[in-house]
Structure 1
C-alpha cells in the first residue's frame, strides 16, 4: 500500500509503511520498551553498589573510566569493559553526564540525578534504591498473576515467594531489617524536609506527637529538631524500636498499633496506611481516634493521594508504588481521595484536608470534629 503524506504530516521514523503498519510497529516498540525497562534498575543498582557517584564526587570533577575503576573498593580484578556498558546506560538515562577530554577519553560527571545516589551524604535515595531492588522485594512480582487468579487467602505474593509476610521477614532477618530501616530513614529525611517546609504552622499548637510506625525515629527526629517544643513519642514494634538511637526530645515505645496507640495531642503516620488493607487501616485509625483529644486532636497522615488520570511529576511513581504494594502487602495500596474519604467516614473523622507538598506523598489531615 502506498503511503501518502501531506505537507502538514509529521515526519515518520519509518519509510515505506502505511499508517496502519506504522501504528502496529509503534505498538511493538512500546512492548519492547516496557519488557526491558527493568534493566535500567539493575544498572542503577550496580552503580550504587560500586559507589561510582561517590568516587566522582570525591574528586570534584568528571573522571575517566580508568580513574573510576582504579578507585573501586574491594575489586581485585575489575572489568572496565563491563563497567563501560553500564555507564553507557547511565549516560543515556542522564544519571551521569559524559564529555570528551583533550586526549579523547570519555569523562563521566555527576548530574542532578546522580547526586541523589551519593552514599556519603544524608540527603540520598541510595538505601531506598537498594531496598527496592533487593531480591526480597523483586522476586514476589513473579507471583502476581497467581494472587489475581486465586486471591490472597493463601497469602500475598510476598508470602508465596518467601514463606513469610514482609513485616515478619524484618523480624526474622537482621540484615534485611537493617536494610529496610536504612531505606525508611533516608526517605524520612527527604520527606520530612518537604513536610516541614510545606506544613508551615501545622505543628505549632502541638505539644505532644506520636509517630505511629515511626521505625527507628528518623521522621520524628526531623520534626522535633524543627519544633523543639514538641515532646515526641516514636511508636513501633518492639524489635524495631530496640535498635533505635537516642534522640533529644523523643521517647521510643514498643507496641502494636492494631491494639492501641499512645495518647498525644496529635498522631503522625508517614507511609504506614498504604501498607495495609482497608480493614486494617480502619482498626489503626480507630485506635488513633481514641488516642487524641476530642476537640483539638488531629491525625497527620503523610501518604500518596493517587490520581490515575493525573500528569503531575510524581503521578507515575505513585502508580509504580501501587504495583509494589500489590506484591508485598496484605491489601496494601495507594489510595485515591475517594478511598481516603471512605476510611475517614468509617473511623469517625468527619473532616479532612489534603495539602500537597514537594514530595511523592501529600499531607492528609483528619479531624475528629
Structure 2
C-alpha cells in the first residue's frame, strides 16, 4: 500500500503517469500498471517506463495531497529499479569484457601500443594492425570498454583525438619486453572453449547426486587430465599457459619471497611442467639444483637447461628425493584425498625438518592477504574454476590445516605476500 499511495500522490503532482493494462485492473483490483517517469538532470530530460503489479484505488476513495517525502520515496523507487536493471545486464554481459580481452591479446594490441611509444590513436592502431578502416568504430568501442575496466588508459591528444595507452594490467600482456614475462598465454588458455563450455553445465551439475563428475567431464566425456593427454593442441595450450604464469610469478617471487628459497641445495618441482619455475629459481639462486617432475609426455617437450633435470613420473606414486619439494598451483587441482597422497609422497622425498626438509606450497589461501574486493572475488572465481575443471578447490586456513595434519606433517607457516596467492612452508 505504501507504493500505491506514493504513486497516487506523485501522479497528481505530474511526476509520473500510469495506465492499466485492462479495465479489470481498476476499481481496487490487482493489475499491471505501466508507469512513465520523467526527470530532469543538468537540463536534460530522461524518459523511462516500466510495468509492475499495482493496486488501484477503489472508486470514490479520497486522495491525500502529496507530500515531499512520498514524492521522493516514489522517485527513489523508480531510480533504484533502473539501477538494478542496469547492474543485472552489466553482470549478464560481462563475458563480452573477457572475450574482448582475448581479442586484444590475439591482435597483439599491447605490443602495438608499446612499439608506438606514445598513446596511440585508432587510425594509427588500425594501420599498424592491418585492420580494415570500416571497423575502426568497433575497435574504438572495444578499447573504450577495456579502458573503463582499467586494461588501457584513454587520453585526449592536443589535436583533440582520442588515444590509448598501456596500464600496469596491459603491460602484463606485452610479449616484447625482454625482462618481463608475458601473461598473454594464460589469458588465452583461460578463455579457451575448454574452460568456457563447462560453465554452461553448472546448473545441471548441481542437480546431480554425485560430486566426482565435474562439469568439464559432463561437457567432454572425459576428465580434464585424460582429455589433455589425447589432444596435443589442448595440451600445448595448457602447458604454455602454466609456463607463462610460472615465469611471471617467479619473477615476482624472487624479489618479495626470495628468503624462502635461500640456502636450498636441491629442490624438486612437483608437477613443474616444462620447467619455467625451476629455470627462474636456478637463475635467482645459482647454487640450487632442481629436478622437475611431471608426466612423461609433458617433460619430453621441455627444453634442456643447465642445473635442471627432468623426470617423467607420477606424483601420486613416487617423487624424486630433494631437500625441498615445491608445489606451485598443484594442490588446488585435486580433492582432499588426492592432496593427502601427494603430500605424503613429498614427505617421503625430503629429509627431516632439522636437516632442512620442507614442502613449499604456492597456492591460494582464501581470505588471507585480502586487501581489495577484486582480490577476494578473484579467489572465489578460482575456487569455482577448480571445481568445474578438475574437481579441486581453493582452501581457507582451516582446510589447509586439516590437509597437513591428515598427511602426517608437523607444522606450517603461511606468508601472504603474492597477490592472490600465499607461500606455505610445511615441515615433516
Give TM-score scaled by structure 2 length: 0.78
Of 82, 91, 96, which residue of structure 2 is paired with 1:34? Answer: 91
Counterpart of 2:242 in 1: which secondary structure? Answer: helix
Of 259, 262, 270, which residue of structure 2 is paired with 1:201? Answer: 259
Higher mean Cα deviation, 208-217 or 93-102? 93-102
Write the deviation string for residues 79-136 of structure 1: whole angstroms up to 9, x where unpaired.
2232122112122223222223344332222222221111223422211111111111
The Cα shift of 1:190 comes to 2.1
Q: Is the 8 A contact 2:126 2:132 kept in 1?
A: no
Write the deviation string for residues 304-351 of structure 1: whole angstroms up to 9, x where unpaired.
000299554622211111111121012x01100001000001001120
Q: 1:98 to 1:23 in 2, by over 3 A?
A: closer
1:322 — aligned with what? 383
Structure 2 counterparts to residues 56-95 of structure 1, below 5 A: 56-72=113-129, 79-95=135-151
Q: Is the 8 A contact 2:363 2:423 kept in 1?
A: yes
Higher mean Cα deviation, 23-32 or 275-284? 23-32
Separation in 1, partners of 2:267, 2:143: 45
Separation in 1, partners of 2:273, 2:369: 33
Counterpart of 2:237 in 1: which secondary structure? Answer: helix
1:142 — aligned with what? 200
Separation in 2, partners of 1:94, 1:365: 34
Write the deviation string for residues 148-194 of structure 1: whole angstroms up to 9, x where unpaired.
11144572111111222222232222222222112111111222123
Separation in 1, partners of 2:191, 2:266: 37
Counterpart of 2:404 in 1: which secondary structure? Answer: helix
Q: 1:309 to 1:238 in 2, by over 3 A?
A: closer
Q: Is the 8 A contact 2:246 2:276 kept in 1?
A: yes
Structure 2 counterparts to residues 110-129 of structure 1, below 5 A: 110-121=166-177, 122-129=180-187
Separation in 1, partners of 2:127, 2:200: 38
Q: Is the 8 A contact 2:369 2:417 kept in 1?
A: no
Q: Is the 8 A contact 1:220 1:234 kept in 2?
A: yes
1:224 — aligned with what? 282
Q: Is the 8 A contact 2:121 2:163 kept in 1?
A: yes
Separation in 2, partners of 1:180, 1:77: 35
Which 5+ residue runs of structure 1 have no aligned equivalent? 4-10
Q: 1:349 to 1:308 in 2, by over 3 A?
A: closer
Which 5+ residue runs of structure 2 have no aligned equivalent? 1-5, 11-40, 49-70
1:44 — aligned with what? 101
Q: Is the 8 A contact 1:194 1:357 kept in 2?
A: no
Counterpart of 2:359 in 1: which secondary structure? Answer: strand
Q: Is the 8 A contact 1:195 1:363 kept in 2?
A: no
Q: 1:78 to 1:257 in 2, by over 3 A?
A: farther
Mark the structure with the bigger radius of gyration: 2
Q: Is the 8 A contact 1:318 1:360 kept in 2?
A: yes
1:353 — aligned with what? 413
Separation in 2, partners of 1:154, 1:350: 30
Structure 2 counterparts to residues 129-278 of structure 1, below 5 A: 129-152=187-210, 155-278=213-336
Separation in 1, partners of 2:368, 2:94: 21
The alignment of Structure 1 onto Structure 2 pairs a total of residues equal to 358
Which structure has more relative contact order (CA 8 Å, sep 6+)? It is 1
Higher mean Cα deviation, 58-67 or 163-172? 163-172
Separation in 1, partners of 2:233, 2:128: 27
Do residues 300 (structure 1) and 376 (structure 2) align? Answer: no
Write the deviation string for residues 205-254 of structure 1: whole angstroms up to 9, x where unpaired.
32110000001001111111111111100000111100011121000000
2:32 — aligned with what? none
Separation in 2, partners of 1:221, 1:363: 19
The Cα shift of 1:289 comes to 1.0
Counterpart of 1:268 in 2: which secondary structure? Answer: strand
2:23 — aligned with what? none
The Cα shift of 1:20 comes to 5.4
Separation in 2, partners of 1:152, 1:270: 29
1:7 — aligned with what? none
